[in-house]
Amino acid sequence: MPATPYSIVISEVGGPEVLRRERIAVTEPGWREVRIRQTSVGVNFIDVYHRKGLYALPSYPHGIGMEAAGVVDAVGEGVSGFAVGDRVAYSAGPPGAYATHRTLPVERVISLPDAISDGLAASSLLKGMTVEALIRRVAPVSAGMTVLWHAAAGGVGAIACQWLAHLGVEVIGTVGSAKKADVAFANGCTHVIDRSREDVSDRVREITRGVGVPIVFDSVGHATFEESLSSLARRGMLVAFGNSSGKPDPFDPMEFARRGSLFFTRPTLWDYIVTRAELEGSSAALFDVLARGIVKLPAPRAYSLARAADAHRALESGTTVGASILTV
């Protein structure tokens, strides 16, 4: 155990500078709880949303971070299926994963297969289960389909585009700069659109011979919302699952009718891993494609837990490729 167990908390919303270190007491787990000595913590845009106040936290000071991996170092009464020394991971609220230790209800913790390292789990669980839910349950895809995926060179995009290509789906990926195009192609995209130089919807119409795509997966938000709508085929669905560029402006629902009876959904992962069966099924599907090499991910960029602010600055800069983690 570190000489001084600590977590990273915020006392107010703001920039990366509001992230601060706070000592924590490592207490014994309660009924059906496990305590985890964390080794790797995932860094995701939802952490930025919590820090900025886009997703409000219930009170302050409050921890942030949604996922981590480590080793069980204590179990509470009523716990079965887990023992001290087991390698585990989680991706569940409430926020507070930026810490040396975490105590959670056993229902939200999953075992790690030998083939999945702590760093890989912490850098891919939230992103990978998000992808699983999006392409298998929110807007199920099928072989031969063509879809548009924004931010195809990012951490979520890397998992999604490889998984989709394996399923026989043709992916049109967008990137924010020319230097990310090669990454998106390597991730499995058939076509790549550089948003800084090309009109997305025009290129999508060109690629699809004027038809548009049946599904757009958009994690960018404000900067791409109009392009996403304009890229959809008649009765197409816009799946908006992130706001890395900010929230889209308010819109008139009649626009969906005018543009061809479109569908819109704003899903969150938590509504798709509500039950233990959903959580285990989603994580198992992800671990399967990782273990079989269907989805191959580069080693995540690693920062020490104490440098969480630096990790946020890099993520918000838009220059990162792939995932980042905090190491404990």
CATH of the domain at 220: 3.40.50.720
Query: Given this model, what pLDDT does residue 31 score?
Result: 98
CA distance 84 to 6: 21
pLDDT score, position 322: 72
Hey, what amino acid is at 96? Answer: G
Residue 2 has pLDDT above 80, yes or no: no
Residue 136, in any domain of the structure: no
Q: How confident is the model at residue 244 (pLDDT cuts 50, 70, 90)?
A: confident
Q: Evaluate if residue 314 carries a pLDDT over 90.
A: yes
At 147, is the pLDDT very low, low, confident or very high (cuts 50, 70, 90)? very high
- CATH number for the domain spanning 69: value is 3.90.180.10
Given a contact cutoff of 8 angstroms between Cβ atoms, the answer to whether 303 and 327 are in contact is: yes
Number of domains in the chain: 2
Number of Cβ atoms within 10 Å of the Cβ of 194: 17
What is the distance between the alpha carbons of residues 247 and 233, in angstroms, rounded to a whole number? 23
% of the chain surpassing 70 pLDDT: 99
Question: For residue 216, what are the CA distances in angstroms to 89, 94, 132?
Answer: 30, 29, 15
Determine the Cα–Cα distance for residues 47 and 62; give it in Å rounded to an integer: 12
User: DSSP class of residue 278?
Assistant: H
Asked if 185 and 239 sit in the same domain, the reply is yes
pLDDT at 3 (0 to 100): 65
Task: Give the model's pLDDT for residue 239.
Answer: 98
Angle between helices 118-133 and 155-166 (to 10 degrees): 60
Q: Is residue 181 part of a domain?
A: yes
Do residues 285 and 315 share a domain? yes
How far lies 191's CA from each of 171, 206, 313, 326, in Å? 7, 11, 30, 33
Chain length of the chain: 328
Which domain, by its residues, includes 44? 6-125+276-327
Provide the mean pLDDT of the chain: 95
